[in-house]
Amino acid sequence: MKKVMLSALLCIWGMVLHAQVKVFSRYNYYLAEKEGSIICILPDQGNYKLNLSLGSDKIETTAKAEGQRLSSRFNLDVLPIGNTTLHYVLEKENATVQKGDISITKLAPKANAVQIDQLTGGLIADGLPFFPFGFYCVPVGDLPEREVTHGFNMIGVYQENLPEGMAERRAYMDRCAQVGVKVQYGVNSLVGSGHNGDKGLDKTEQEKLALLKSEVLAFRDHPALLSYYINDEPDGQGRPPAVLEAAYQLIRELDPYHPVSIVFMMPQKANDFRNTMDIAMTDPYPIPGPADKVMDDLTQYAKAYQYEKSVWLVPQAFGGQEMWNREPTGAEIRLMTYMGLIGGAKGIQYYVHAPGNLNPQSVSAWSSASNVAVETAQMTSFLLSADQAPALHADDPKILTKAFSYQGNTLLIAVNNENKPKAYTLTTEMHKNANVECWFENREVAMENGVVHDIIDAYGTRVYLIRGNNPSAIPADNMTLNPGFEKIVSPGLPIGSNVSSTSHRKADVGASFFADPREHAEGMFSLRLITPVDSGGNKIRLVPMVMTKGNSYTVSIRAKAKAQEHMPSFRIAVDAMEQDHTFTLTSEWKEYNFTFQAPVSSTTAILSLELIQQGTAWFDVLTASPDPVITYKINADHTATVQINTNSNKEIRYAVNQLPDGQSALYTQAFPVHVAGMISAGIFEHGRQIAGSGIFVPVNLALGKKVSIAQAYAPQYAAHGDSTLTDGIMGTTAFKCGKWLGFGGKDLDATVDMETVTPTKRVIASFLCDPNSGIFLPKEVAVYTSKDGKNYKLAGKVYNNKNVRGEPYLQRFSIPVKGSARYIRVTGKAFGAIPEGYLFVGSTSWLFTDEILVQ
């Protein structure tokens, strides 16, 4: 009797344990992937092992355990095209826990295929993670080209599916493909009855299925196709699941590459419709009431379909009709959408949007939807990541939270489900101290031992990024701002550039450019350009760089394009340097570069980038660096150590105060410099110089000496303070480089304390001339010397009446000095009012200085 009871208890225990284990394929089907993956969701963090077999043959696996999840990867080459049944045995400490069969689907590669990651519920479209963010619409009009530039990437069209409208449907599908918008292709008019008692299409069921078949065959290969939308609220409308199952099976037979979607309204009926679709959408429309129903319904659907289907949210974007007496406010749209994001939605499709402001009527409401669209796109890698995330909670139950992790970075999202602002505290299990970036707000807050204190708006949202230790591929000598497109202040827009058109005559309003987290050669983002038609795209223009005549520079960029029959080309140019280069892209990341010698000096060298032919491309690590790179370090003994580097493996030769040639000294290691001078270096190939650079090294007796300045310089041009004049750091021709002292309408009067009476032969004072910016050279420069700091005598003076308009340039005034002195006073008389013939005529000129050299 005891043995029988024990056996029964073991059986019951085993059934309970088995119910806690979920075993499934990572993807609903595989294409050209080299590996398949079986996921086991476990009841604990024990020592589990998954054995796979195909018939009598064992399949080798590579396992990885993360918490209560076991991932077992295997070689897909062992499986044929089609459906294959694998047998699995899950063991814990050599004891069988669960066994069974699992079906793996492997399809031939197809360009427009859309897969479902059954672990996360996210989609993979065009081989990349894809978070659909769009809206229902009718009619289509110009919405695709207009809204794609506002961050939307998908539309769902209410439409009739009759043959006479085929040309119109194909036209909008083609346009969507051009601008990079995916389509939930509506065939709901062909499945079941109409809505709210309406009879619907006046066709028999067989006639409707025939039309459905023709629609699928017409568009299953279309690049804009994302999914088939087959029904609207069948649970609430009383449509039998069998009708939907028949349509679903027909579509799956004709097109196994694209998912089928349905929107539902009654979570309690989720199981009844389990076999009718791949994407379950839910459309709670709570406004003007509280938004809680969004989380309630979404949570139920996410739980019911977890590890099987993709679950989306349809936020309310309408009102003032039927039982909804008003539209949601912009804040309420943001609240509902972010509820969706933290509630597990892997797609957002607003109901509804129409051209103009017909739906929603409020401009601010749709602006909020657009803002969240761009924010969601920026967060895509986190929202669709399968990485384990830390626990997160708030001290206020009305603050809803969720954490996401991606490649060592962590994103925290907080949503205030109350219409009043408040202070709050977030607590994570990270136990670290860090400065946390507030995404979309251009500010930071402190995290102390995993805790963040902040404030949040009424119905507000907060998104915090905690960066991991990600190595950078950006060279230290790079001159471009934000070369990896990592710094983003406004959602989706990397700083450091502006935009124009490749051709104003051919400019396409649907051309777009955004930071894209799904593709990157380094860091977390790349810059994605979509050019709908040849010469119809955007031209990205970086902020100006400073380049010096005679110096060589290497421009480098990494790029790739979406695969297409004729791969597109991109152009990268530096107009001021007469550089214009075109490269043909491949579907893999590749580095493209060119080196040139600057024909002129310029502080407005603008690097531009454009995708000149139709297509989609990603760009990353856009750098411009001197080549070779000459750097120096000032030593304690008033000498300097010079280093020369190049990205090439060619020989470097250098010379002092002259240009190098094939007989000049060969650079092999860092070398000392004892007197101020111009160090010039060249890269040589077969005895011929192919690139060169030069730098002035200000070795002199005044390095590091104390300076006192009689008249205050402007605080916005304070460089390193008084020590700027003896720190050995030379300014560039860019007055905003942070290395100049700027005096507005004041003379320079600076005294260097040499500490001891020092024999002196020459004093050199360096200034900037940039009349176009209101910066003029001094009228005269004088040097006075003193041994006691009280009695000064004039040692020399030079006069200047030269201020050349055009590109900025550096001017060093050299004054011979005889004798010895401890104190050396340098004065520069400001130019004064700006005369006729210059910009800013009549205003007071600026005087910029950066270094006093004593020899």
Structure tokens at 640: 């300097």
Task: Check if the beta carbon of residue 173 is closer than 8 Å to that of residue 224.
Answer: yes
Task: Check if the beta carbon of residue 852 is closer than 8 Å to that of residue 780.
Answer: no
> Does the structure show a pLDDT above 80 at 338?
yes
Q: Domain 488-620 in CATH: superfamily?
A: Galactose-binding domain-like (2.60.120.260)
pLDDT band at 469, cuts 50/70/90?
Answer: confident
Which residues of 359-460 form beta strands (DSSP E)?
392-394, 399-406, 409-416, 422-428, 434-438, 443-448, 451-456
What is the pLDDT at residue 196?
77
Placement of tokens 């004593």 in the chain: 854
pLDDT band at 6, cuts 50/70/90?
Answer: very low
pLDDT tens digit sequence for 260-307? 999 999 999 999 999 999 999 999 999 999 999 999 999 999 999 999
Q: Please check whether the two domains, 21-106 and 488-620, share a CATH topology.
A: no
Instruction: Please choose, from the candidates 279, 457, 496, 495, the residue with its C-alpha nearest in 3D space to the C-alpha of residue 368.
Output: 457
Q: Provide the percentage of residues in the chain whose pLDDT is more than 70.
A: 98
What is the pLDDT at residue 238?
93
Q: Does domain 392-466 have CATH number 2.60.40.1180?
A: yes
Burial class (CB in 10 A: 0-12, 13-18, 19+), 252: middle
Helix (H, G, I), strand (E, B) or coil at 429: coil
What is the pLDDT at residue 131?
98
Per-residue H/E/C for 594-649: EEEECCCCEEEECEEEEECCCEEEEEEEEEEEECCEEEEEECCCCCEEEEEECCCC
Any residues with CB less than 8 A from the CB of 521 and at least 6 apart, and which? 473, 558, 589, 620, 621
Q: Specify whether the backbone of 704 is left (phi greater than 0), alpha (psi in -120 to 50) or beta.
A: left
Displacement of CA 670 from its chain's centroid (Å): 38
DSSP state of 726: G
pTM of the model: 0.92
pLDDT tens digit sequence for 763-773? 999 999 999 99
> Does the structure show a pLDDT above 80 at 170?
yes
What is the pLDDT at residue 352?
96
Instruction: Please choose, from the candidates 323, 328, 317, 313, the residue with its C-alpha nearest in 3D space to the C-alpha of residue 359.
Output: 317
CATH node for 21-106: 2.60.40.10
Can you give the residue ranges of every domain in the chain? 21-106, 114-383, 392-466, 488-620, 629-697, 706-854
> Does the structure show a pLDDT above 60 at 133?
yes
Helix (H, G, I), strand (E, B) or coil at 113: coil
Displacement of CA 827 from its chain's centroid (Å): 49
pLDDT tens digit sequence for 171-215? 999 999 999 999 999 999 999 888 877 878 889 989 999 999 999
DSSP state of 722: G
What is the pLDDT at residue 357?
80
What is the pLDDT at residue 194?
80
pLDDT tens digit sequence for 77-113? 999 999 999 999 999 999 999 999 999 999 999 999 9
CATH node for 114-383: 3.20.20.80
pLDDT band at 747, cuts 50/70/90?
Answer: very high
513-527 mean pLDDT: 97
372-387 mean pLDDT: 98
> Does the structure show a pLDDT above 50 at 541?
yes
Name the CATH code of domain 706-854 (choices 3.20.20.190, 3.40.228.10, 3.90.1170.50, 2.60.120.260). Answer: 2.60.120.260
Task: Check if the beta carbon of residue 548 is closer than 8 Å to that of residue 598.
Answer: yes
Is it true that the peptide bond before 771 is cis, omega within 30 degrees of 0? Answer: no
In angstroms, rounded to a whole number, what is the distance separating the alpha carbons of residues 358 and 330? 16
> Does the structure show a pLDDT above 60 at 7?
no
Instruction: Please choose, from the candidates 343, 334, 418, 331, the residue with its C-alpha nearest in 3D space to the C-alpha of residue 375.
Output: 334
Q: Specify whether the backbone of 98 is left (phi greater than 0), alpha (psi in -120 to 50) or beta.
A: beta
> Does the structure show a pLDDT above 60 at 73?
yes
Q: Which fold has domain 629-697?
A: Immunoglobulin-like (2.60.40)
DSSP per-residue string spanning 213-256: HHHHHHHTT-TTEEEEEEEE-HHHHT--HHHHHHHHHHHHHH-T
What is the pLDDT at residue 20?
73
Is it true that the peptide bond before 628 is cis, omega within 30 degrees of 0? Answer: yes
